[in-house]
Amino acid sequence: MPGLTLPETRLVDHIAPQPIRDHVLDWAGVNSGTDNLAGLAAMAGRLADAFSVLPGEVSLLDPAPVAMVDGQGHMVDRAHGRHLHVSVRPDAARRILLTGHMDTVFAADHPFQHCTWLDEGTLRGPGTADMKGGIALMLAALQAFERMGAGSPPALGYDVLINSDEETGSLASARALRELAEGKCAALTYEPALPGGDLAKDRPGSGNFTAVIRGRSAHAGRNPEDGRNALVAAGDLALRLYRARRAGLAINPAKIDGGGPNNLVPDLAVLRFNMRPADDHAMAAARALIARAIDDVARDHDVAVALHGDFGRPPKRGDGGTGALATLVSAAARDLGLAMGWRDTGGVCDGNNIAACGVPVIDTMGACGGNIHTDEEFLLVDSLRERAQLSALVLSQLDRGEAVL
């Protein structure tokens, strides 16, 4: 590889593809849907064993308490799995954060549970790209980085956090993310690469909300005028929100719980919706829109509306230190002969939360693949070694202080 020094060539050449593949196949065979606590415990145990090869302390962090609204409009506790934390050289002058998530969107009873080879380079399976492949290549890169400094340990320290709840917004790990991001000079997150291997630049924010609408029950035939139909009010609220979507503000009413017998005016409905503002201005506008729509629906339908939720992921901008870090990563990719662009995406991830802490972050350091969040999810297996080599090279350059972030 003409762009690499001799030590860098040795660093990346020693990354073997088979151990990374073996980890992916093993881990993808464990269902770790966000609500599958037994599966998450099994996954956390395997990850703790795997990451114990690093010269640091491995621990499992308890999730923060999280309350959610159930289908009856009641606040209930939502249980989550523990998060993996690895701390290496905690007293180092310069430290970075590496993050990933062990949970997937596939529940324990989902039919998509096993891996199949579509061809010799393409593995279809749950979580293979998002992001068990990313976790496996992260580990391989860290092993290579530590092996490079076997004679004298690297100066760069780091924390690894692999949470159990990223797919539902990281509410049970948000505090840990903030605490571990504090004081870091950079962060790398192992979400799958964008199509073509590109890095994500700007990301919108994301807010998940639940509106609990309470009306008044009445007989649908004898005295319907005495009722206040909560289901109709919820539908009206969903339409008002949906019709307000525009460039820079995506709005998705996702689910309405409620209703009952045909001869009864329903007095309860629960509307769940998601909003994705492109920037802080759009996020403020979204808050005003929600408040106005709720006030109008409550008045027009004579119902009570209680709102729960917030913008758990702020918008992320790819400028400043993140831009400098992207330049370093892109240059390392060129040295490895990898084509790599940098562009905006509509998705969100823990990179949003890390950027909000003022830490430069590249959050698509993971594997290449596609069809994530569907039962056609696939991993391009050759990308595992390539992207592990990229991470190892970036780590070595950060260790040498080649980028001032």
Same domain, 172 and 220: no
Domain stops at, among 281, 296, 313: 313
| pLDDT of 301 higher than 90 | yes
Kindly state whether residues 348 and 242 are assigned to the same domain: no
Identify the pLDDT of residue 2: 66
Nearest residue to 89 via CA among 135, 140, 144, 152:
152
Residue of 391, 53, 2, 401 lying closest to 193 (CA atoms): 391
Interval 206-242: pLDDT, tens: 999 999 999 999 999 999 999 999 999 999 999 999 9
Q: How far apart are CA 82 and CA 66, in angstroms?
A: 13
**pLDDT beyond 90 at 102:** yes
pLDDT of residue 152: 76
Amino acid at 241: L
Q: Which domain holds residue 292?
A: 206-313
What are the Cα distances from residue 323, in Å, to 80, 204, 333? 34, 17, 15
Supply the CATH number for residue 215's domain.
Answer: 3.30.70.360
Same domain as 91, residue 12:
yes
In this structure, are 115 and 242 located in the same domain? no
What CATH number does residue 72 fall under? Answer: 3.40.630.10
Asked if 297 contacts 231 with a C-beta cutoff of 8 angstroms, the reply is no
Q: Are residues 15 and 149 in the same domain?
A: yes
User: For the residues 20-37, what does the mean pLDDT come to?
Assistant: 98
In this structure, the answer to whether residues 10 and 149 fall within a common structural domain is yes
Do 224 and 273 lie in one domain? The reply is: yes
Of 291, 313, 335, which residue is a domain's last?
313
- pLDDT over 60 at 352, yes or no: yes
Using an 8 Å Cβ cutoff, are 191 and 373 in contact?
no
Q: Is 149 a residue whose pLDDT tops 70?
A: no
Domain count along the chain = 2
- Averaged pLDDT for residues 25-54: 98
Same domain assignment for residues 276 and 326: no
Work out the pLDDT band at 341, boundaries 50, 70, 90. Answer: very high
Query: Is 15 contained in some domain?
Result: yes
- How many percent of the chain have pLDDT more than 70? 98
- Is 404 among the domain residues? no
Q: Is residue 193 part of a domain?
A: yes
Residue type present at position 73: G
Yes or no: say if 247 and 271 are a contact pair by the CB < 8 Å rule. no
As a whole number, mean pLDDT of residues 175-191 equals: 98
> 277, 296, 313 — which closes off a domain?
313
Q: pLDDT at position 289, please?
A: 98
- What does the pLDDT average to over 250-274? 98
Average pLDDT, the chain: 96
Mean pLDDT (whole number) for 175-184: 98
Task: Please check whether residues 159 and 129 belong to one and the same domain.
Answer: yes
The mean pLDDT value for 297-305 works out to: 98
Across 368-395, average pLDDT: 98
The answer on pLDDT for 195 being more than 60 is: yes
